[in-house]
Amino acid sequence: MKDLKHLMYFEELLQNQDNELIKQAQADGQLAIGYTCYYMPEVLLNVGNCFSTRLRAPNTGSIDIATYYMSNYTCEFARSLLERAIEGGYEYLDVLAEVDACSAMNRAAEHIEVLNCNTKEKFFCTHLDVPYKVEDYSVEHMAIQVRLRLLDEFKNVYGVDTSDDAIRAAVKEHNELCDVITELSEMRKLENPPITGYEYAVCTWVSYVCPTALILPYLKETLAEVKKRKLDPKPWYRARVAVVGSEIDDPELIQLIEQCGAFVVADRYCYGTFPGRERIELNDDEDLVYQICRHYMETSLCARYMSEEKIQQRRDRADELAKEFGADGIIYEQMKFCDFWAFERPLASHILTEEYGWPTLSIDRPYRSRNSGQLRTRFQAFVEALEIKRIQTEKEGA
């Protein structure tokens, strides 16, 4: 297939956290709100003249300084963010909005604040305490915090419009973005899809890190291009896989999987589509912030939620997506030293195989995987196993 028109531009945007579109938005007087976790209601970071940018640490090399502060037994994602902050990589932010989700990210955010990694006069950090259960009272608790620690602070410090009209406008724009990403995602269900998993992942990630209003026209143009794309006679892949697990923002990891012959058809991981790119439906009867908080808490599939219903929801959702997108198997991944997913992954991957019947590859991995020969070997072996299984099934069916 011919390369997508904007793919190289999207890749360039992902090379720097403070990218061209962020600079453009700030030059127009908008405020950059950095965040890392799905628990932080992304859409509420886009009210008024604010825009959200989900933090990454592209081109990470040494993380020795962050390791000095956080130890080498904490997740590399959190350490990489702190390293980048110490280097001055997040000086452009006007606000850092974090949640008390995991101890590693708590420590990273705390060090960013204590070490004065951002010297803007009005810069501030804010934290939300996220409940462990999804009940009416816990959603109300979350909504109160969002009002006090997020929206009120935006208004008091920067004069941001946080009215209901501003919130509805942010939701409308968010839904428009989600519709485009969802339509691109649906094309991955086709036997001979007009988009690769890598291309789709890049489109998804730029939708998180760039101002929505500025990236949306490029994504719409890409969707129109994909719809008309001339396909190769036969599908390029040898197997279809769903990738499930913890945080992934590394284009080279998805690229590595697909270089081994697997087409990534579904992305149930943090910074992916499920959850993250679903429409938010609002009614006129309930408080808007309450509705939005409920949406994020109900759709969250983070391993921090340890209640039985949430554990079951994560397993069922992985099964549903693998079936819906026609996967042959599941890659269940986890960032090294991620406490929550380190508990979740071994048992969940076993259950997906034994109880749901999915061939499952269970891996832990570094934040950046570009030089991992071990991962390449395991991906190649998994693809071969899926391919052999499919051939045997076809013979038995014949």
| 212-227 helix and 20-27 helix, angle to the nearest 10 degrees | 140
Global pTM reads 0.96
Chain segment 319-367, per-residue pLDDT in tens? 999 999 999 999 999 999 998 999 999 999 999 999 999 999 999 999 9
* Contact present, 33 and 45 (Cβ < 8 Å): yes
Residue 202 confidence (pLDDT)? 98
Round the average pLDDT of the chain to a whole number and report it. 95
The number of residues making up the chain comes to 398
Mean pLDDT of the 50-60 span: 96
Q: Which CATH architecture has domain 232-397?
A: 3-Layer(aba) Sandwich (3.40)
Residue 373 confidence (pLDDT)? 87
> With 90 as the cut, is the pLDDT of residue 9 above it?
yes
Q: Write the CA distances from 300 to 40, 194, 200, 370, integer angstroms.
A: 11, 29, 21, 29
Residue 391 confidence (pLDDT)? 85
Distance CA 3, CA 161 (A): 41
Mean pLDDT of the 122-136 span: 93
Mean pLDDT of the 132-161 span: 96
Residue 398 pLDDT grade (very low, low, confident, very high; cuts 50, 70, 90): low
Residue 222 pLDDT grade (very low, low, confident, very high; cuts 50, 70, 90): very high
Residue 121 confidence (pLDDT)? 96
> With 90 as the cut, is the pLDDT of residue 114 above it?
yes
* Contact present, 356 and 315 (Cβ < 8 Å): yes
